[in-house]
Structure 1
Amino acid sequence: MATLAVPESLPSVAEDCEQLKKAFEGWGTNEGLIISILAHRNAAQRKLIRQTYAETYGEDLLKALDKELSSDFERVVMLWTLDPAERDALLANEATRKLTPSNWVLVELACTRSSHELFLVRQAYHARFKRSLEEDVAYHTTGDFRKLLVPLVSSYRYEGAEVNMTLAKLEAKILRENISEKAYNHEDLIRILSTRSKAQLNATVNHYNNEFGNAFNKDLKFDPKDEFLALMRATVKCLTCPEKYFEKVLRLAINKSGTDEGALTRVVTTRAEVDMKRIKEEYYRRNSVPLDRAIAGDTSGDYEKMLLALVGHENA
């Protein structure tokens, strides 16, 4: 796990809460003070700050932030301050409730979290929305999308490194047969993607790539305009090389004619404490521009400062 740059000598939690309270008082909010505290505390520390703030001032810190902040800066601070499982539950709920469900976000959450993390997301979803994540995904999706997404969000994969090579070869052959027949929604294909451990799946995909002369994801590109196939490719990418998936999301978010702040905020807040170092390396490898420079060139103000602090910008 990547660790967030946290100051060596931390103020006490009570002190942090006092400073945050100060940032909200008087004329105008002190955004710089909010960034200097929250952007430099890890998940456990932020949780403690929220608890202490509520006990000391009788108000949820998130409510206070909501009152004081606005637009993209508010969104990045709010998402960051949430407990990771709560944050993912909120993102998943938003993804199901859009006019057209954001299937990409659901795949991302289901396939780049560990089994335990995904289990905690489902628990947080129950607690907050009084429904299950599975039932909302099933209700808001249809056809092949539902067939793929429900097992993905319900999954509890084995997390170990053990790999069964005989099984990998057999399942690579099954994948090949389904793809040759253009049976992209075949239950075996979906079963393999939604139940196998990431290590096992990597072995299967590697065997496929070596054995059949074409990369598995390339073979899933039969029709570049087919949304279901694009989602299948995202599933494979998220499960086998998440940094490549996130690099692409960031690249598309930044290179759009107008920045896609939603995607930028989501990836930075959810990956800052997980694999941001690998994502930054991949971004530089792919674009020959450091990620922080790309973000700085595309955003501004407090939103930019918060994002740069989270991606580990030296001067943040």
Structure 2
Amino acid sequence: MATIKVPEHVPSPAEDCEQLRKAFKGWGTNENLIISILAHRNAAQRSLIRKTYAEMHGEDLLKELDKELSSDFERIVLLWTLEPADRDAFMVNEATKRSTSNNLVIVEVACTRSPLELFKARQAYHARFKRSLEEDVAYHTSGDIRKLLVPLISSLRYEGDEVNKSIAKSEAKILHEKIANKEYNHDELIRILTTRSKAQLLTTFNHYNNEYGNAINKDLKVDPKDEYLKLLRTTIKSLIFPERHFSKILRLAINKLGTDEWALARVIATRAEIDMERIKEEYFRRNSIPLDRDIAKDTSGDYERMLLALIGHVDA
């Protein structure tokens, strides 16, 4: 459910590269031209543009963009132009640095990507940082958070629709017992959340709800200041209802005193080609205001135009 609008007749990668080259040359950068090309090409097309640009001009397009653009607009354009696996690797690396630490991003990448996408992100991390993604996550975290995040980011879940109802029933019981006893870091609880397929977990959580009269995340709402519990709840929401998770992140990003531009750019760059339509519906359902209106109210200039183009705004 992509929101980006790709034109009916897409110019060849070579033509796009010539236009981009033109946008960089002369007095000042032509930001509108950059938006009109990059915001309206899908991942495969952007990848070809980068490859062709390097062949034609002997330069990495990302480096050129980095040189020409600045601030929030630069961030969204670079994130968008990166290959999805490289983008995930970059984001997790940023999330494991002391200055930009963000465990939520690690959970997001681990739980909202397909098993193959997560595997590719780990490969890209190896190639780019000459270390494994798992070792950096383990080094950056400790205690219960490490115990949850390392298996989560290392997971290679089954992706099909097959479910085992008797396992769902018994594991719902295990989850309920551990949560009732406040054993939130129990090995069994972590094993279930980090290894079972999304379809299996959905069946388990539905059984939990029917059997014990409460959604699992309601039972986990204990201490809002407890980061581990927050990550546990985010894990469950991201695995089963990613659009709810992302619409909440967007709302928090926009509603902050001073927008959280990093969160805004991250969600839009990573979801525009996946489930942005569902996120927009959820956003409106929860906030009674369309996402594009909130973005337009909170951002400006080229940055605003790029964001609106990526979420499929009519005039962008």
- TM-score range (shorter-chain normalised) is over 0.9
Deviations 1:116-173 (A, max 9, x none): 0000000000000000000000011000000000000000000001111100010000
Matched to 2:77, the amino acid is V
Structure 2: gaps (5+ residues): none
* 1:71 is aligned to 2:59: no
User: Which residue is equivalent to 2:185?
Assistant: 185
> Equivalent residue for 1:119?
119
d(CA) in 2 for partners of 1:79 and 1:218?
Answer: 34
One-letter code aligned to 1:24: F
Cα displacement (A) at 1:113: 0.1
The residue that corresponds to 2:273 in the other structure is 273
Superposition CA RMSD, Å: 0.8
Deviation, 1:309, is 0.3
CA contact (8 A) 1:253 1:264 kept: yes
Distance 1:101 1:40 in 2: 32
Deviations 1:11-34 (A, max 9, x none): 111110000000000010000000
- C-alpha offsets along residues 69-114 of structure 1, whole Å, 9 cap, x if unaligned? 0000000000000000000100000001134731100000000000
Query: Which letter does structure 1 place at the counterpart of 2:101?
Result: P
- The aligned residue for residue 130 of structure 2 is 130
Q: Which runs of 5+ in 1 are unaligned?
A: none
Q: Percent identity of the aligned residues?
A: 74
Structure 2 counterparts to residues 79-98 of structure 1, below 5 A: 79-98=79-98
Q: Per-residue displacement from partner, 1:44-64 (whole Å, max 9, x unpaired)?
A: 000000000000000000010
**Cα distance in 2 between the residues matched to 1:47 and 1:54:** 11
Which residue number corresponds to residue 223 of structure 1?
223
Task: Tell me what 2:13 maps to.
Answer: 13
Report Cα offsets for 1:283-311 as digits up to 9, x if no partner. 01111111111100000000000000000
| Conserved 8 A contact 1:101-1:141 | no
- Contact 1:89–1:122, Cα closer than 8 Å, also in 2: yes
Name the SS of the counterpart of 2:224 in structure 1.
coil
> Shift in Å at residue 214 of structure 1?
1.4
Equivalent residue letter for 1:286: R
CA distance in 2, matches of 1:269, 1:2: 11
Instruction: Tell which deviates more after alignment, 92-101 or 129-138.
Output: 92-101
State whether residues 3 and 312 of structure 2, in contact with CA within 8 Å, keep that contact through their aligned partners in structure 1.
Answer: no
Q: CA deviation at 1:4?
A: 3.0
Q: Tell me the number of residue pairs that the alignment of Structure 1 and Structure 2 aligns.
A: 316
Q: Secondary structure at the match of 2:185?
A: coil
Distance 2:147 2:99 in 1: 19
8 Å Cα contact 1:238/1:245 also seen in 2? yes
The one-letter code matched in structure 2 to 1:76 is I
Aligned counterparts of 1:287 and 1:107: Cα–Cα separation in 2: 24
The TM-score, its normalising length taken from structure 1, stands at: 0.99
- What is the distance in 2 between the residues matched to 1:277 and 1:94? 27
Any idea what SS the aligned residue of 1:97 has? Answer: coil
Contact 2:280–2:290 at 8 Å: present in 1 too?
A: yes
State whether structure 2 residue 38 is matched by structure 1 residue 38: yes
Shift of 1:3: 5.8
Report the equivalent of 2:201: 201
**How far apart, CA to CA, are the structure 2 residues paired with 1:11 and 1:101?**
40
Q: Give the TM-score normalised by structure 2.
A: 0.99
